[in-house]
Structure 1
Amino acid sequence: MKKLFLLSLAIIGISLSSNAQDISENAIGLRLGDSDGLGAEVSYQRAIRSNNRLELDLGWRNGRNYDGFKLAGLYQWVFPIEGAFNWYVGAGGGIGSFRYDIQGGDDISDTYLFAAGDIGIEYNFDFPLLLSLDFRPEAGFRDDVYYNGNRVYNNSALDFDIAFSVRYQF
């Protein structure tokens, strides 16, 4: 807990002392990762200040044995590296829901909340394209142990999501 508190203070200090930069007012595109078994997410970013933004991601899957969605919201701090490269950190959370049809058995379904962190690097082209690579650990708060076709989860399941994103800036 002490390390988390010190890390939070360091992030806040860095964000207050960093040089101002301009980030795109809006960006929309795809975040391509495992998304807790949901695959690609539609991703939207909205600038709040010159170096802060809000990111909203919606992932869904509709298949023969598995249906689900996940909505994530993150507040991000963006820092320049050099040229068109930036790095960012963020924190947030979201909600998800799924239904898994077990052959010859009962359906398993759940709705859950999760907390998430985010750290990544991005490249901002001269034309309206933004590419990024990020790492997002998520801690889910779920009621039961369940299986979604890929893995078994339990209460407070931890997931590590790595994703590549392509976004159009406007």
Structure 2
Amino acid sequence: MKKFFLLSITVLGFTFASNAQEIADNAIGLRLGDSDGLGAEVSYQRALGDNNRLEVDLGWRNSNNYDAVKLTGLYQWVFHLDGDFNWYVGAGGGLASFSGKKLLDNQNETAFFAAGDIGIEYSFDIPLLLSLDFRPELGFGDFTDDLDFDIAFSIRYQF
């Protein structure tokens, strides 16, 4: 009986330790960064496995000079650091649409871009995930034909 009790405690301990390294099935929130001048993005993450996930971000801007929409999709690999800290790296791309007004001579353009992503995240005991990431983007179009760097802070609700 004593051995069974110790074995049960050991198995429960390994179960809780392994759960601390798993990523949430879903997370939704805001990614607050430059985003090529679009500012905040609505961000959604979906787990595809124990250590892989898909992230989709939608940013938009409606101003006096231009309207813009940007959709980004990234496949990420998540690696455990320590405790509730993880780091991740990803690759993907997206689509951006730009519509100029007034001063920009009504220019319209749709462009594609390739993106990478590397960051660190902390998962709280409550369903809160905070992260800081760096995302280089290489654009293919007139207004996005360059290499941009975006650093952002994200806050997401996990479910």
Aligned length: 141
The answer for the alignment partner of 2:108 in structure 1 is: 109
Asked if 1:67 corresponds to 2:67, the answer is yes
Which stretches in structure 2 are left out of the alignment for 5+ residues? 1-17
Q: Which residue of 1 aligns with 2:27?
A: 27
1:66-91, CA deviations, whole angstroms, 9 ceiling, x for partnerless residues?
10000000000000100010000000
Distance 1:102 1:136 in 2: 31
1:87 equivalenced with 2:76 (yes/no): no
Percent identity over paired residues: 71
Distance in 2 between residues matched to 1:82 and 1:168, nearest whole Å: 21
Q: Secondary structure at the match of 2:36?
A: helix
Runs (4 or more) in structure 1 with deviation over 2 Å come to none
Amino acid at match of 1:160: F
TM-score (norm 1): 0.79
Aligned residue in 2 for 1:162 = 151
For the residue of structure 2 that corresponds to 1:107, the secondary structure is: coil
Q: Distance in 2 between matches of 1:160 and 1:100?
A: 23
Give a deviation string over 1:101-135, Cα, whole Å, max 9, x none.
243x6212210000000000000000000000000
Structure 1 alignment gaps of length 5 or more: 1-18, 147-152
TM-score calculated relative to the size of structure 2: 0.85
Residue 36 (structure 2) pairs with residue 47 (structure 1): no
1:133-148 residue pairs with structure 2 within 5 A? 133-142=132-141, 144=142, 146=143
1:37 aligns with 37
